[in-house]
Structure formats: C-alpha cells, structure tokens
Amino acid sequence: MLLGKVIGTLTPCVVYKGLEGVPMLLVQPLDKNQNPTGNTIVAADSTRMAGTDELIYYEGGREAAMALETTFVPVDATIIGIVDDVKLDNEEVE
C-alpha cells in the first residue's frame, strides 16, 4: 500500500456492472514525507468516507477489487483507509 492525498471527486455516468454506487476519487500519490510523486490516479473508495484533502492509503492490483463489496470488478486502485497520523522514526518527538 502507498500513501496518497484525495484532490477531488469523479462522477462517472456509465460504469461497468458491479461498480454502480462505488465512490471514485482523484488521488495524488505521495512519498513517505508526503510530497507528491507521479501522476494522479482515480481510485475507488472502500471506506466510503474519504473526502478532498484527506491523507489516505491505497492498494493497487487484484487486491483493489477485493476491498470492494463486489469483489470481481475492474478497478485499478482502491482506497483502503484514511490516515490519522504518520509517525516517522527520524522525527523529533514534540
């Protein structure tokens, strides 16, 4: 899984069978210091609770579909959870 930031939502008008009602969000992948890296992706949201500007983690590949309610659907990336905090070991404790 990798970190990402939700930068927007996407509303499809026609989707493949099984993907009806699944929220689609625009996600900017991040490195571990939360700097943007790579191209923006569209991810389905298994939490159904992620919103714009939130830090999330997502999974790609076969596991992306398995995280959704209908588990055999054509998706590339799925948001697995919303991040409350990232604690890096090299950070000073406040």
Tell the smallest beta-carbon distance from residue 18 to other proteins (Å): 15
Q: Count Cα neighbours of 2 within 13 Å in the Cβ-side half-sphere.
A: 19
User: Residue 48 Cβ, how far from other proteins at the closest point, in Å?
Assistant: 9
Give me the DSSP letters along 26-68.
EEEEB-TTS-B-S--EEEEESSS---TT-EEEEEETHHHHHTS
**54-93 binders of other proteins (CB under 8 A):** 57, 59, 61-64, 66-67, 71, 78, 80-90
- Interaction site with other proteins (CB under 8 A): 1-3, 31-32, 46-47, 49, 57, 59, 61-64, 66-67, 71, 78, 80-90
